[in-house]
Homo-oligomer: A and B are copies of this chain.
Amino acid sequence: MNCIIASTSTVHGSSYLGYFHDALTELFTGVKEIIFIPYARPGGISHKEYTKKAQEGLKFLNIDVVGLHEKENPKQAIENAQAIFTGGGNTFLLVSQLYKNDLMNNLSDKIKAGCAYLGTSAGSNICGKTMHTTNDMPIVHPPLFDTLGLFPFNINPHYLDPDPNSTHKGETRETRIKEFQQQHKIPVVGLREGSWIRIKDQDLVLKGDLNARVFIPQKEAIEVKPNHSFKNLS
C-alpha cells in the first residue's frame, strides 16, 4: 500500500494541508489526477465547495483534483483512480455515503492494490477496521460501522490528552476508547494533531513530531515515538 493517514488536515497556525507538504509531494509522485471524496462535508459545506477547498490546498502539487461527486459512475471512477484523497468532516456522513454508493469494498480493494491514498481526520478514521472510535456526532445512521480495514486496528484522530485543569464531566478520550475496548477487542492508535501514519508496502510508520498513544485491549495505554512501526499491531 501507499498511504498517508493523517490525524488532521490543519494544525494550529498552518494553512489547510500546509503542515506536511513534503510528505504529500512524496506520496503523490508521478500522479496526474487525484480523486477527492468530499462526502464528510465539514461544517455541512457542499461537495462542490469542499472539492474547491481541496483543490486549493493541493495546488502546490500541480496535479488535477476532481471531486468524486462530479463523476457519473463513482464506482468506475474509484476503479480507474490513480490517487485518492478523502477529506475530514463527519465520519457518520462519510460512511453512510460510501455505503449508499456501494463504494466501501471497491475503495478498500483499490487502496490495498497500491493506489496512492491520503486520508485526513474522518478520511483516516475509515481506514481502520471500524468507525467505532470516531469523535464525531452521529448526525446520520450508517447501516454498518465497518470501514476499509486497511490494517487490523482502529484510528482515533485528533487524539486529545485529558486536561488536568478541566472541571467538565464529559468523558475523557481515554475513557471513551477503553469503553470501546470493553465491547470490541481491537487496538486503537490515538493520533495527535500533526501526526500521520505513512503506509508503504508492508510497513506502517508514525510520522510527524509527536508521540502517538496506543491502546491495546485490557492493557495500559502506551506512548510510541515518531518512526515507530505499527506493522505488528493487531
A contact residues vs B (CB 8 Å cutoff): 8-13, 41-44, 90, 92-93, 131-141, 144-145, 158, 160, 167-171, 175-180, 182-184, 193
Contact = CB atoms under 8 A, between A and B. Distances in A.
A137 B137 contact: no
Copies in the complex: 2
5 contacts: A11-B169, A12-B167, A44-B179, A137-B180, A141-B145
Contact of A140 (B41, B136, B178, B183): B183
B134 A138 contact: yes
B135 A137 contact: yes
A170 B160 contact: yes
Contacts of A138: 92, 131-132, 134, 138, 145
A111 to B, nearest CB: 23
Contact of A179 (B43, B133, B171): B43
B141 A144 contact: yes
A8 B145 contact: no
A138 B156 CA distance: 12
A132 B168 CA distance: 21
A203 to B, nearest CB: 27
B137 A176 contact: yes
Contacts of A177: 137
Contact of A133 (B132, B137, B175): B137
Closest 7 interchain pairs by CB?
A12-B167, A44-B182, A137-B176, A139-B180, A158-B170, A8-B169, A141-B145
Nearest to A12: B167
